[in-house]
Amino acid sequence: MGREIRKWVVVCMVVVLVVNLRHIGAQGQPQVPCYFIFGDSLVDNGNNNNIASLAKANYMPYGIDFPRGPTGRFSNGKTTVDVISELLGLGYIPPYATARGRNILRGVNYASAAAGIRDETGRQLGGRISMNGQVNNYKNTVSQIVNILGDEASAANYLSQCIFSLGLGSNDYLNNYFMPNNYPTSRQFTPEQYADVLIQQYSQQIRTLYNFGARKLALTGVGQIGCSPNALAQNSPDGRTCVQRFNNANQLFNSRLISLVDNLNNNFPDARFIYINAYGIFQDMISNPASFGFRVTNAGCCGVGRNRGQITCLPFQTPCINRNAFLFWDAFHPGESANIVIGRRSYSAQSASDAYPIDIRRLAQL
């Protein structure tokens, strides 16, 4: 009798083990086959490394907390899209500069530091790949995917299941509109007109991506550039109060971006467009820093001058020790701790305002 009981116990344990292994396997499957990323230095992961540009981050202490060290990411560790990609089950997505062969089927990161919606944006920093350039690079990738999968229909079906992240506009303000000595745009357009011009051009670029297979698109709004250490160092009398004219301009752009999402969803019923409220998520971290573990919100962990934000992080400069306590890593960019918050809330909204009309997690399920 005892032998029979032991036999059944062993059988039950094996069944439980098999069920658990199957569950783990199911959980480990990517939620989408691929992830394509368009943007600027907030999500660049190496596309600027080998071009003639001042906008580079392929040196220490950038990447000091990243497993692969300095890769070109403008962070001490992960970027927001690294976090989102991990949550999607895809791991790190390769930059266009190094993506080769069947590896592109998992997705490609086209982002380029200093890039803007407008082609001239960021030119004072040297080489960069504008959104138009990134769209052209994506077209090249689509041609390769058609060759790999055998025909356009197979490629179209494959791409329709992928997530596309877009996050541009910051540089069109920081490295264009609010640099009157370098660019004429602030004399040509009111903030309202400039937001309209940007959205009009962005809309055309997004429609091109749609024409080349994109069907699940997450459009990230511009964050609070008026609260960066650089903006505070240059334009805030007390070094703490955010520069409202910068943020007001951002909000004009973001409100139009939400309207664009509605417009695109109405015009392209076979696709789904969503808005990620980076501005609002950032506001939470600035308003309630302690609840996120931040003690310093107005200075960079690595930088030079007032607010450690007048000159950005220099090669082999010694950064702050308590990096998780700083909202900003350098003069312009959030640190890994902030990127994790933004990435997680972009993927799975914690409040109704984080994503509109749905978050990336639900977008992946469509």
Q: How far apart are CA 130 and CA 123, in angstroms?
A: 10
User: Which pLDDT belongs to residue 27?
Assistant: 45
Band of residue 282 on the pLDDT scale cut at 50, 70, 90: very high
Select which of 75, 170, 172, 333 is catalytic.
333
Q: What does the pLDDT read at residue 7?
A: 45
3-class SS shares of the chain: helix, strand, coil, % to 5: 50, 10, 40
Task: Please report the pLDDT score of residue 117 as a whole number.
Answer: 98
- For position 264, what pLDDT does the model report? 98
| Residue 249: DSSP 8-state | H
* Active-site annotation holds for 23: no
| Cα–Cα distance measured from residue 328 to residue 276, given in angstroms and rounded to the nearest whole number | 20
| pLDDT value of residue 338 | 98
Give the pLDDT confidence score for residue 211 in this predicted structure. 98
Known catalytic residue: 348? no
Write out pLDDT tens, residues 9-63: 333 433 333 333 333 333 479 999 999 999 999 999 999 999 999 999 999 999 9
Task: Clarify whether 65 is annotated catalytic.
Answer: no
Catalytic residue among 82, 172, 330, 354: 330
Q: Are 181 and 174 in contact (CB under 8 A)?
A: no
Name the packing angle between helices 191-211 and 244-267 (round to 10°): 40
pLDDT of residue 11: 38
State percent of the chain over pLDDT 90.
92
Q: What is the pLDDT of residue 363?
A: 98
pLDDT digits over 328-337, tens only? 999 999 999 9
Domain spans in the chain, listed from the N-terminal domain onward? 31-223+243-283+332-365
Q: How far apart are CA 159 and CA 36, in angstroms?
A: 10
pLDDT digits (tens, 9 = 90+) for 118-168: 999 999 999 999 999 999 999 999 999 999 999 999 999 999 999 999 999
- pLDDT tens across 218-275, in order? 999 999 999 999 999 999 999 999 999 999 999 999 999 999 999 999 999 999 999 9
Mean per-residue pLDDT, 310-326? 96
Measured from the Cβ of residue 101, the count of other Cβ atoms closer than 10 Å reads 8
In the predicted structure, residue 4 carries a pLDDT above the cut 80: no
CATH 1.20.120.80 holds for 31-223+243-283+332-365: no
Identify the residue whose tokens are 């698109």.
Answer: 217
